């Protein structure tokens, strides 16, 4: 198996929302905000090539939304989903599977593209895998998350017949383990891979950046923040004991890190790029 980082660009979100109850005097030293209190975040996907399958984890925000919509999030950077895949030597037609960790727009927007005023799957030969409970949660959104679940990002997948829903406890793609967590949103899926003698855990929005490793550093976006803290504690312990790596979807600078135990509990250690492993 080969794993590759797939950069899809940067966007901005409110720093206070991203760090919840953590005071600005603390979090601003971890990710400096602009004059509007907005911080830069990556939208970093992962590609696993097993030889038989090319599995893409999440798809970034995409490019089909209006300029007004993108203006809210100050998209910047030169990277794009298809451009980054092309630099790695892959075309959209090469992707066999797409795992959507959850259906918030910055994680699944690139799953669908606009072509001649039609919305079609970006990866025409791929199955798009999503936890069934998350799908049902997204197509019947609660008021808190409604703005994050956009029908144009997800319903075209069902209409095209390429959506593959799975139940919690199932592992739909051989060679890829799954952990399901429901603090951030219902039944978010975190994949992990055995790779080069270690394990890589894709953290999605459970631990969006290295700055979010401490247990209380929980986003205000989470629907069940106390559950997030319990889920974080469990995964951090697992990763620490395995000497494995956390892979960060949203950290603007750091792709992944290991963990160590310090005076204040489990903490980040040995940050690096996936390509350097």
The predicted-structure confidence for 119-144, as pLDDT tens digits, reads as follows 999 999 999 999 999 999 999 999 99
* pLDDT value, residue 241: 98
> From CA 101, how far away is CA 221, in angstroms rounded?
16
Neighbours of 273 (CB within 10 A): 10
Decide the pairing of beta strands 188-195 and 54-57: unpaired
pLDDT band at 100 (very low <50, low <70, confident <90, very high): very high
How many angstroms separate the CA atoms of 32 and 62, rounded? 25
* Cβ neighbours, 10 Å, residue 214: 17
Q: CATH number of the domain that 249 lies in?
A: 3.60.15.10
**237 is in which domain, residue-wise?**
2-276
* Averaged pLDDT, 237-262: 98
What percentage of the chain exceeds 90 in pLDDT?
A: 98
pLDDT at 29: 97
Cα 32 off chain centre by: 21
pLDDT digits (tens, 9 = 90+) for 61-80: 999 999 999 999 999 999 99
Q: What is residue 12's predicted lDDT score, i.e. its pLDDT?
A: 98
**Structural domains in the chain (count):** 1
Instruction: Identify the pLDDT of residue 44.
Output: 98
Give me the mean pLDDT over the 76-85 stretch: 97
Say what the pLDDT of residue 4 is. 98
């Amino acid at each position: 198996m080969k794993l590759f980082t797939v950069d899809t660009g940067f966007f901005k979100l409110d720093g206070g929302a991203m760090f919840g109850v953590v005071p600005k005097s603390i979090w601003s030293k971890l990710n400096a905000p602009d004059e509007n209190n907005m911080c830069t975040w990556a939208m970093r996907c992962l590609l696993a090539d097993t030889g038989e399958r090319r599995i893409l984890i999440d798809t970034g925000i995409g490019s089909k939304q209006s300029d007004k919509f993108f203006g809210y999030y100050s998209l910047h950077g030169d990277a794009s989903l298809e451009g980054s895949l092309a630099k790695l030597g892959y075309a959209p037609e090469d992707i066999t599977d797409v795992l959507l960790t959850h259906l918030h727009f910055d994680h699944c927007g690139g799953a669908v593209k606009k072509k001649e005023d039609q919305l079609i799957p970006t990866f025409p030969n791929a199955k798009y895998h999503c936890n069934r409970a998350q799908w049902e949660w997204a197509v019947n959104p609660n008021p808190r998350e409604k703005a994050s679940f956009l029908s144009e990002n997800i319903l075209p997948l069902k209409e095209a017949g390429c959506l593959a829903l799975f139940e919690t406890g199932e592992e739909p793609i051989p060679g890829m383990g799954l952990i399901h967590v429901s603090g951030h949103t219902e039944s978010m899926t975190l994949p992990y891979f055995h790779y080069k003698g270690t394990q890589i855990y894709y953290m999605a929005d459970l631990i969006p950046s290295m700055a979010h490793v401490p247990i209380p550093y929980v986003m205000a976006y989470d629907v069940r923040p106390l559950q997030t803290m319990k889920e974080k504690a469990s995964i951090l312990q697992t990763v620490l004991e395995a000497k494995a790596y956390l892979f960060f979807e949203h950290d603007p600078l750091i792709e992944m890190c290991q963990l160590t135990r310090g005076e204040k509990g489990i903490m980040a250690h040995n940050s690096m790029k996936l390509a350097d492993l």
